[in-house]
């Protein structure tokens, strides 16, 4: 039964303009109701909870102080945007989060005017906010840009690249550093709050300006010394020296859950001419919900749960293991006997299975933070020095390091192993996290080997094969979620590079599968056989290099060739077509059809429905075969007679 909280004050707020009609004294109650509503909504839908709970007061304060949507509010990543969605006209749909046709789990421009910039990848907010701020400045329009970025996202170089360029925006840019890593945050208390309010005030800035003018009349040496003295005094008290060096006026740290501190500081920042400004706010992930506060991950990502107990509905246990865990555990076992194996991840140890490896081999596990570019080049350096690095990164995040894959790994032919998680469609996370493009962007590269397992047993073999492959870079891609339930091999097998396998023999139709569509290909073969169309199913294993001999054989002995892959155009189908064209194999009228993800960014939904929409399940494979046979023929039955 859904727990619906009592929210009399929140019920009066449909959009931020309504919020700004309230008294400051009412905001504490409003924030409490907003937190309760967020917990209730996510208990129904699942999703990202801890991050949103940590910014309830901050969300309330920003929308109260700034004139959104004219002032542009940009949330970095977007994990924390659910309270924002509730306050910006979407409360009536908040229980559709991450479901088909419902609200996105991230910010999305097409969803609301209060989402000026879509995000789901990290560390883009300051760059985007700078663009909004400078555009307004050039056009002579009012309006500030506020970027809210977490301390984790600040591990990415892009954030500092943006800050280094931010002086162009002047006081139109406000960066709020949401620091929820309490272990590194400076003490937050009365003195800190007082200093933050003081240094953001117009009185202080006025005195500062006057002192600066007076100092300029003195010698340059005295003027510079005075400026440095003030900078370091504030830096020592509040930790802002780095940001001052990057051109920001630093304010903080302040308690991000104390509205009596937040509101006046943000008002000062809004009204004063000093800028750009960085406001350092300290928050607690999972704040205000005891089960989240007690959990190690602060309920970062949850499935449906009971609000009263916090117990998550994880379904029946004992099912097949997740692909990521099969990879992590296999790699850990291989590393027991190979001291050169090491693992690198970019802030996703549990998401990639590297946490399993790290437990067994902590000295050979490296979480580089949200820094995929650095992670890939770091791996290249390790490989050049004789190590066997495995770079475990989601497909969609590896896109951020493409130049490093090309320039630092492939051109130098260094044996970096890429374990690419979240290949294909990913369900509720939608287009921003779907691994659609890795086959296209990796299989074009000289020196690169690219493979994809059809099940978790094959993933064990491919992990071992990658460990053994010292002659150049190698990549293997696998999906989100659980395996098929096949038995895992006790001893992994080293696969022959570029060799596929026949898993079902037939005569008329050949389905060439790459990855975990193999199960759907076998279902399709059952249906086709029942229609009198004898069907071969091949698990190609490799898209680069292709198994030329196997493909030649199948083309020579079958009337129709179907390729099936969980990737965009430019992958397996494109490479098979190119091979067939180069070798003249289509000159005799062979029918080849390629099945791949459609040329759209698919919306979030149940994965089965996503693959139905993509046309990559068994019924669509069957229909593709039948359409190919009907072309230049009187009918399927007639075609089947030749089988």
| Residue 35, beta-bridge partner list | none
**Which residues line the annotated binding site for thiamine diphosphate?**
79, 120-122, 152-153, 180, 289, 372
What tokens were used for 10?
């929140």
Per-residue burial over 540-554, b = 16 or more CB atoms within 10 Å of its CB, e = otherwise: bbbbbebbeebbeeb
Instruction: Give the span between the Cα atoms of 414 and 643, in whole angstroms.
Output: 48
How far, in Å, are 81, 313, 525 from residue 609 at the CA level?
Answer: 26, 22, 21
Using an 8 Å Cβ cutoff, are 395 and 370 in contact? Answer: no
Is residue 400 annotated as part of the catalytic site, yes or no? yes
Residues 6+ apart with CB under 8 A from 418: 390, 391, 393, 398, 405, 442, 473, 474, 475, 476
Using alpha carbons, list the distances in angstroms from residue 539 to 513, 550, 581: 5, 11, 21
Tokens of residue 506, six digits: 């037939």
Distance CA 19, CA 22 (A): 6
> Which amino acids are annotated as binding site for Mg(2+), given as ranges?
151, 180
DSSP one-letter string for 98-125: TSTTS--SSB-TTT-TT--S-BSSSS-H
**Sign of torsion over alpha carbons 377, 382, 385, 387:** negative
Q: Answer yes or no: 20 catalytic.
A: no
Other CB atoms within 10 Å distance of the CB of residue 220: 9
Query: Quick check: helix, strand or coil at residue 379?
Result: helix
Q: How far apart are CA 381 and CA 385, in angstroms?
A: 6
Annotated binding site: 79, 120-122, 151-153, 180, 289, 372
β-strands 417-421, 474-477 pairing: parallel
Question: Which whole-number Å values give the CA distances from 469 to 95, 183, 441, 443, 462, in the listed order?
Answer: 48, 41, 21, 17, 10
- The answer to whether 372 is a known catalytic residue is yes
**Residues contacting residue 279 through CB under 8 Å, at least 6 positions apart:** 174, 175, 176, 177, 200, 251, 252, 254, 265, 266, 269
Strands of 505-567 (E only): list them.
509-513, 535-539, 542-544, 560-564
Residue of 285, 356, 541, 596 marked active site: 285
Burial class of residue 635 (count of CB atoms within 10 Å of its CB; 0-12, 13-18, 19+):
exposed
Give the pair of three-digit tokens for residue 591.
């029918």
Catalytic pick from 72, 287, 400, 417?
400
| Alpha carbon distance 199, 247 (integer Å) | 16
* Spatial separation of the C-alpha atoms in residues 563 and 189, rounded to whole Å: 63
Of the candidates 33, 274, 329, 372, the residue annotated as catalytic is: 372
Count of positions (residues) in the chain: 643
- Residue that the structure tokens 């949401």 belong to: 178
Going by their DSSP bridges, the two strands 542-544 and 501-504 should be labelled as unpaired
Rounded to whole angstroms, the Cα distance separating 294 from 57 reads: 20
- Phi/psi of residue 576, nearest 5 degrees: -65, -45
Nearest CA-CA partner of 97 in 174, 12, 14, 38: 38
Task: Judge whether 377 and 408 are in contact, CB under 8 Å.
Answer: yes
| Catalytically annotated residues | 285, 372, 400
């Amino acid at each position: 039964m859904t727990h619906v909280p009592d929210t009399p004050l929140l019920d009066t707020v449909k959009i931020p303009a309504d919020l700004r009609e309230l008294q400051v004294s009412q905001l504490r109650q409003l924030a409490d109701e907003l937190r309760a509503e967020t917990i209730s909504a996510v208990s129904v839908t699942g999703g990202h909870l801890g991050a949103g709970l940590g910014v309830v007061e901050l969300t309330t304060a920003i929308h109260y102080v700034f004139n959104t949507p004219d002032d542009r509010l940009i949330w970095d990543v977007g994990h924390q945007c659910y309270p924002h969605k509730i306050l910006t006209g979407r409360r009536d749909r908040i229980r559709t989060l991450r479901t088909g046709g419902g609200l996105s789990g991230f910010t999305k421009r097409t969803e609301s005017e209060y989402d000026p910039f879509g995000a789901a990848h990290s560390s883009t907010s300051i760059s985007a906010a700078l663009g909004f701020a400078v555009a307004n400045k050039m056009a002579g329009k009012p309006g500030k840009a506020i970027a809210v970025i977490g301390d984790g996202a600040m591990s990415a170089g892009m954030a500092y690249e943006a800050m280094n360029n931010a002086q162009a925006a002047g006081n139109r840019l406000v960066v709020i550093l949401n620091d929820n890593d309490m272990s590194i945050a400076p003490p937050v208390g009365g003195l800190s709050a007082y200093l933050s309010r003081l240094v953001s005030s117009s009185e202080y800035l006025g005195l500062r300006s006057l002192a600066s003018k007076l100092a300029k009349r003195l010698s340059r040496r005295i003027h510079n010394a005075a400026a440095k003295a003030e900078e370091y005094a504030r830096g020592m008290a509040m930790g802002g020296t780095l940001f001052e060096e990057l051109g920001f006026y630093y304010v903080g740290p302040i308690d991000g859950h104390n509205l009596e501190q937040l509101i006046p500081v943000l008002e000062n920042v809004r009204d004063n001419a000093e800028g750009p400004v960085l406001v350092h706010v300290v928050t607690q992930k999972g704040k205000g919900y005891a089960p989240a506060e007690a959990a190690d991950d602060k309920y970062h990502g949850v499935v449906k749960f009971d609000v009263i107990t916090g117990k998550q509905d994880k379904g029946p246990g004992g099912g097949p293991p997740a692909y990521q865990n099969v990879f992590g555990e296999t790699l850990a076992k291989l590393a027991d006997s190979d001291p050169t194996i090491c693992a690198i991840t970019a802030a996703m140890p549990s998401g990639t299975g590297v946490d399993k490896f790290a437990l067994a081999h902590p000295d050979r596990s490296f979480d580089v933070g949200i820094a995929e570019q650095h992670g890939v080049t770091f791996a290249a350096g390790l490989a050049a020095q004789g190590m066997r690095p495995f770079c475990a990164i989601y497909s969609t995040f590896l896109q951020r390091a493409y130049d490093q894959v090309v320039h630092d790994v492939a051109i130098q032919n260094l044996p970096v192993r890429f374990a690419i998680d979240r290949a294909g469609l990913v369900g509720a996370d939608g287009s921003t996290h779907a691994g659609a493009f890795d086959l296209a962007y990796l299989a074009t590269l000289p020196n690169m080997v690219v493979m994809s397992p059809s099940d978790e047993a094959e993933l064990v073999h491919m992990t071992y094969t990658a460990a053994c492959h010292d002659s150049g870079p190698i990549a293997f891609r696998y999906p989100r979620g659980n395996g098929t339930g096949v038995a895992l091999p006790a001893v992994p097998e080293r696969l022959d590079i570029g060799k596929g396998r026949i898993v079902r023999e037939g005569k008329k139709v050949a389905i060439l599968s790459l990855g975990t569509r193999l199960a759907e290909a076998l279902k399709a073969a059952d249906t086709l056989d029942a229609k009198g169309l004898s069907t071969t199913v091949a698990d190609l294993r490799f898209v680069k290099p292709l198994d030329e001999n196997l493909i030649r054989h199948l083309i020579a002995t079958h009337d129709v060739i179907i390729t099936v892959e969980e990737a965009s155009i430019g992958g397996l189908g494109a490479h098979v077509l190119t091979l067939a064209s180069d070798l003249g194999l289509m000159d005799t009228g062979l029918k080849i059809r390629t099945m791949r993800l459609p040329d759209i960014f698919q919306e979030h939904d149940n994965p089965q429905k996503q693959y139905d929409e993509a046309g990559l399940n068994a019924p669509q494979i069957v229909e593709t075969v039948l359409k190919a046979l009907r072309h230049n023929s009187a009918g399927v039955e007639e075609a089947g007679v030749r089988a």
